[in-house]
Amino acid sequence: MNILIAVLVMGIIICIHELGHFTAAKLFKMPVSEFAVGMGPKVYSYDTVNTTYSFRAIPVGGFVNIEGMDIDSDIENGFNKKPAYQRFIVLIAGVFMNFLLAFVVLFFTVYSNGTYKPDNSPVIGEVFKEAAANEYIHSGDKILDIDGNVITKWSDIGAAVSKVSEEKNNKVEITVLRDGKEEKLTVPLTKDPQEDRMILGVVPNFIKEPVSVGEATKLSIKSGVKIFTNTLDGLKMIVTGKVKTKELTGPIGIIKVVGDASSQGASVVLWLMALISVNIGVLNLLPLPALDGGRLIFVILEMIGVKINKKLEERVHLAGMVFLFGLIIFITTNDIFNLAK
């Protein structure tokens, strides 16, 4: 089931991307011979007067076959016969749809789930498993007193623990309200792995608060921009060699990650869908031959008056296609080895 969910997520992302190209091409009356979901041999197809809609055997990827992209093509209204601005819109439409999908998914997640803010009351929401206090205090306990310091709000807990730890005490006397009864406990503190201090190792309860449409929109855009910048940072790390090649993940690895995440609930899967959709959008914008970004470079040059040798452009894209296929094979092999481990 997890694999099916992962394949469905990837299928939706790819389908939405190709739908962008397809819709823009149809808008400018470019002939589209096929809209395919998946790769490899056809499993099912439906023919119309102008376009064949098909599902293919390998449930990863997809494509839109827009007629007239070959330099020798003489097809009426073909891609290369259209004005440069129309070709630009067709090429950018797939990326635009990836970003739009991410926004819609993030908006739906934020609006339906609301936001969570920490409760200011001194009630334990969770005790870290690594904390020594885990054996003594529990979720739902209300802390009333720490070593004679009255606790009325959550921030009082940290202040009291800091005061006690400064006195070189590794244990605190805590009074908690549990199941309507007060209990006095001697609770050991834990060394904070990040800082040179002793901590209790607890977090508060979180209160769910609904958000308005405007707030959900702002949070969704903010989250989308954050994913975008993180993706660029990740690419920079790959180029500079800070990320090892064995750590790269392709379609198989992504499907595994999404499949594993599906057990954590729909919200996590939806967030991953937004993340992957933005990543695919950014990758397609890279100025590499055969990718949308590589084709966009040539169209932009044409739009600003730079004459392009179409045969040279075709050779560049062909070389880029060979490179991409090689990269896909390498990353897929890497995924298989990682799964075997």
Q: What is the pLDDT of residues 35-77, one digit of tens each?
A: 998 878 899 999 998 899 998 887 767 889 999 887 777 788 8
Q: When comparing pLDDT for 86 and 337, which is higher?
A: 86
161, 147 contact by CB (below 8 A): no
Q: What is the pLDDT of residues 259-276, one digit of tens each?
A: 676 667 788 888 889 998
Amino acid 189 reads L
The answer to whether 288 and 294 are in contact (CB under 8 A) is yes
Rounded mean pLDDT, 187-215: 88
Write out the DSSP string of 242-296. -S-GGG---HHHHHHHHHHHGGG-HHHHHHHHHHHHHHHHHHHHS--TTSHHHHH
HSE at residue 317, side-chain half, CA atoms within 13 A, is 18
**Pair 94, 61: CB distance under 8 Å:** no
Q: How many other CB atoms sit within 10 Å of the CB of residue 195?
A: 8
By residue count, the chain amounts to 341
**C-beta of residue 145 within 8 angstroms of C-beta of residue 139:** no
Whether 187 contacts 174, CB under 8 Å: yes
pLDDT at 251 over 90: no
Tell whether the torsion through CA atoms of 58, 59, 61 and 65 is positive or negative: positive
Percent of the chain with pLDDT over 70: 89
Residue 167 has pLDDT above 80, yes or no: no
Distance between alpha carbon 58 and the CA centroid of its chain, in Å?
A: 23
pLDDT at 134 over 70: yes
| 209 among known catalytic residues | no
Predicted local confidence at residue 227, as pLDDT: 92
Residue 18 near residue 94 (C-beta atoms within 8 A): yes
User: Using CA atoms, how far apart are residues 159 and 170, in angstroms rounded to an integer?
Assistant: 15
- Rounded Cα distance, 20 and 90, in Å: 8
Say if residue 248's pLDDT is above 70. Answer: no
Residue type, 71: I
225: phi then psi, degrees, rounded to nearest 5: -65, -40
Quote the tokens at residue 117: 């803010």
Please give the pLDDT value at position 4. Answer: 76
The catalytic position among 18, 130, 167, 209 is 18
Q: Is the pLDDT of residue 147 over 70?
A: yes
Question: pLDDT tens-digit profile of 71-129?
Answer: 777 788 889 889 999 999 999 999 999 999 999 999 999 999 888 888 899 999 999 98
Average pLDDT over residues 194-199: 81
Highest mean pLDDT among 2-6, 87-91, 168-172: 87-91
Which of 135 and 169 is assigned the larger pLDDT? Answer: 135
Average pLDDT, the chain: 85
Q: What pLDDT band is residue 340 in, cutting at 50, 70 and 90? A: low
**Residue with token string 């099916």:** 4
Tell me the mean pLDDT in the region 159-172: 79
Q: Which two tokens stand for residue 175?
A: 């009074």
Give the pLDDT confidence score for residue 338 in this predicted structure. 64
